[in-house]
Structure 1
Amino acid sequence: MSRALNKFSAQTVKAADAGKYSDGGGLWIFKNDVGGGKWVLRVHVHGRRREMGLGAYPRVSLKEARLEADKWRRVSQQGTDPIKQRQTAQRNAERNMHLLRDIAIDAFESRKAELKGDGIAGRWFSPLELHVLPKLGKVPVSEIDQRDIRDTLAPIWHEKASTAQKAMDRLRICIRHAAALGLDVDIQAVDKAKALLGKQRHKVQNIPALHWKDVPAFYQSLSEGTVTELALRLLILTAVRSSPLRFLHLDQIEGDVWTIPAEAMKGRKDATSDFKVPLSSEALAVIEQARPFARDGLLFAGVRRGVISDATMSKYMDRRGIAARPHGFRSSFRDWTAEATNTPREVAETCLGHVSGGSVELAYRRTDFLEQRRSLMDRWGRKLTTPDKEKVIAISR
């Protein structure tokens, strides 16, 4: 290696004919016939000569080539092969160029088994799809910091508090997923963003519900026998959620028991834990009335295809001038068990499909209280169908 450095000037390089020229210190330029060329650094590492390309001329200027040559000379002087070190750095850079959208999709795919119905409904992914990925989806995950997250979620942080929190939770999972893949990410970026955003002002509002004393009058007013009214009646009688009821398939009913598949039950991760719903005599009567409307085995079929939508029952109640929502009947039922019966808490919670108790308690509790629930649901059915002679509640149609 020549000890003399910086032999060229920019004009000298430009005017040079085709050939190989040394700038000193191992930096060479190989000129071609059309005035272009390439920069090459020659160094000796572990007793062998290495030639390292530093870029094309004139895209890489003489000044830039000298800076690069100086950097890689120092690497070689430390006994490290500069070519191998640069290749390693390039691989790391490529690894860290994974975009957030790609990471989010991969994280979603790896968690499908934990989600109800493999997450087909999109509820896990939609907070990201709607509120995060439009702004950060094309950003390399390794470049995302707390300020990016804060600026992305700030517009909905107070106005749509629950949605913003879900988006933040999903984003936290994505960043941890990226870390598990070996990417260089700030694992605490989401928590830092939450600190920057501050406490949410939004107040959680409970779903409006009819008082349990008003439910029998409403139930008895559902007398026209339409699919929507029959669905509402069975919803009230069983205290289940809307989704498993709307997708009720006739082969799920055996005798006076309706078995809801585990994947259709919210919050139940154990794929073998189906939920048995005891059907009162009134519930069985409603099912028989609904059978003529069934299509493809689905009891509450939609007008054209599929099943009735989640909004169908809510719109019906709107037309009736009732502020309460269908989901609120679960609350009405639970209040009735607490105020008008001596039902043990475990039995009442199991009626709603809730899993109550600590992990140790649940490990030893093997009963689903089916017989106790059967008696309670029969009593609820009688309550709903017995006219209240002392109080008449006007509910507009």
Structure 2
Amino acid sequence: MSRALHKLTAQTAKAAAPGKYSDGGGLWLHKRPDGGAQWVLRVSIHGRRREMGLGAFPDISLKGARESAEKWRALVREGLDPIKERDRQRRDSARKLHLLNDVALDAFESRKAELKGDGKAGRWFTPLELHVLPKLGKVPVGDIDQKDIRDTLSPIWHTKADTARKAMNRLAICLRHAAALGLDVDLQATEKARALLGKQRHKATNIPALPWKDVPDFYQSLDGGSVTELALRLLILTAVRSYPLRHIHESQIEDGIWTIPAEAMKGRVGATTDFRVPLSSEALAVIQEARKFARDGFLFSGVRRGVISDMTMSKFMERRGMDERPHGFRSSFRDWTAEATKTPREVAEMCLGHVSGSKVERAYRRTDFMEQRKVLMARWSSFASSPRDGVVSQFSGAAAR
């Protein structure tokens, strides 16, 4: 290198008094009266003079300052502003430091409004928390690739297929969330991981449902008057999901209509749409009986606090030796409407709170078929709650209520 360019030596830089000393090529050493010192690079870019700090002396040696100065001068020769370029590189580095743990929590937080009970039950986050974050939580999200995902989910890909599928889907949401934050991530990583993992051997099975012709026998067997039995009776009569049924509150019932808040519904169009359920005379009678167990307005309160759990009803049926589960009564109702009535599909689906028809069709159809559903649910209630003459119930003498 030319001595005209490299004017300073390590010894003169160290011994220099307070002042400004040029090393040539725009590199300067600024020494302050308080003993501190720093390197500064002066360049001209697009007609502007720029001063760029290169670090403190002697932490940054003369040799290190020269190497840094040459790197940034090379960018100036390419027409780039070295200060803006350094800021961009720092932002990129900071982005890569975002760990999956942080991104996943932020993604969960932003989606709480879409989830039942603000996701407090933990079902959205649990697949990530149990099966992804223990291995990848401390990895910068920008570094995660399909091999990382494959290695993480391969132990449960076939043995816990549904859980693995949910974990993969949640992870894909996290990657999209990271991209929306401006982080550099591979949005195809989960799809690539699916290709590496292959098709799952485990096949999803539907929740076991009681055949609709057996529903009256089971309903008649729920004669113990316990909270669990009353909850099962109302679940059958209304064909709703377990969550809103377990959280039914006095304030939601008025003039024979049960209005379920939008946040308690799954699969409804629009997060602000409440769902109205017509209550038959039998359903109102069950509600009246359940009021003696109510606590804080909740009809089906738990033993110690809150409301009864989803497992309470499932365990009740399990103790009776049944494979069927509470959620299956929705299927029982739907099969009954298809096989024993001439109910239009859109009315039957509306009874279940399902989305029916195309997006355009739904935009023009504003009715919830309340009058038709009142008639249908009254028929279902009459069928479900009436004993079958001359038939010996398979549930007679059933154990433990």
Q: Return the TM-score normalized by structure 2.
A: 0.84
1:373 is aligned to 373
Q: 1:352 to 1:17 in 2, by over 3 A?
A: closer
Q: Is the 8 A contact 1:18 1:30 kept in 2?
A: no
Q: Within 5 A, what are the aligned runs for 1:318-397?
A: 318-395=318-395, 396-397=398-399
Matches within 5 A, 1:103-252: 103-252=103-252
The answer to which of 324-333 and 157-166 deviates more is 157-166
Distance 2:30 2:112 in 1: 56
Deviation at 1:277, TM superposition (A): 1.4
Cα distance, 1:299 vs. partner? 0.7
Identity %: 69
3-state SS, counterpart of residue 212 of structure 2: coil
Look up the match of 1:315. Answer: 315
Output the CA distance in 2 between the equivalents of 1:156 and 1:5: 63
| Secondary structure, aligned partner of 2:213 | coil
- How far apart in 2 are the matches of 1:29 and 1:127? 56
Tell me the CA shift for residue 39 of structure 1: 8.9
* 1:89 aligned partner, one-letter code: Q
Rounded to whole Å, the distance in 1 between the matches of 2:315 and 2:52 is 75
Residue type of the alignment partner of 1:394: Q
Note closer, same or farther for the CA distance 1:153–1:62 as it changes in structure 2 (3 Å cut).
farther
CA distance in 2, matches of 1:195, 1:18: 64
> 3-state DSSP class of the match of 1:366?
coil
After superposition, give the CA deviation of every residue in 1:255-288 in whole Å (9 maximum; x if it has no partner).
3221111211111252442222122221121112
In structure 1, the residue corresponding to 2:54 is in which secondary structure? strand
Q: Distance in 1 between matches of 2:57 and 2:190?
A: 42
**Residues 209 and 331 in structure 1, CA contact (< 8 A), matched pair in contact too:** yes
State the secondary structure of the residue aligned to 2:324. coil
Hey, what does 2:278 align to over in structure 1?
A: 278
Q: Which one is further off, 260-269 or 42-51? A: 42-51
Give distance in 1, aligned partners of 2:169 and 2:255. Answer: 42
Q: Distance in 1 between matches of 2:295 and 2:336?
A: 35
305-314 vs 13-22, which moves further: 13-22
The CA distance in 1 between the partners of 2:380 and 2:50, in whole Å, is: 89
Q: Deviations over 1:55-102 (max 9, x none)?
A: 766x77888666545433433444545455333322332233222222
Structure 1: distance between partners of 2:52 and 2:223: 89
What one-letter code is carried by the residue in structure 2 that aligns with 1:75?
Answer: L
**In the aligned structure 2, how far is the partner of 1:167 from the partner of 1:333?**
32
1:53 lines up with 2:67 in the alignment: no
Assess, with a 3 A threshold, how the Cα gap between structure 1 residues 283 and 41 changes in structure 2: closer, same or farther.
Answer: closer
2:225 aligns to what SS in structure 1? coil
What's 1:254 paired with? 254
Q: Give SS of 1:94's match.
A: helix
Deviation at 1:292, TM superposition (A): 0.9
Instruction: Work out whether residues 158 and 201 of structure 1, in 8 Å CA contact, stay in contact via their aligned partners in 2.
Output: yes
How far 1:27 sits from its partner (Å)?
A: 7.7
What amino acid is aligned across from residue 193 of structure 1 in structure 2? A
* Equivalent position amino acid for 1:53 in 2: L
Distance in 2 between residues matched to 1:181 and 1:277, nearest whole Å: 41
Q: 2 CA distance for matches of 1:96 and 1:201? A: 36
Shift of 1:235: 0.8
* 1:5-63 CA-partner distances (Å, limit 9, x unpaired): 8999xxx96999745999997889999xxxxx999575654596957536766x77888
Match of 1:34? none
- Size of the aligned set, in residue pairs, is 390
CA distance in 2, matches of 1:325, 1:134: 32
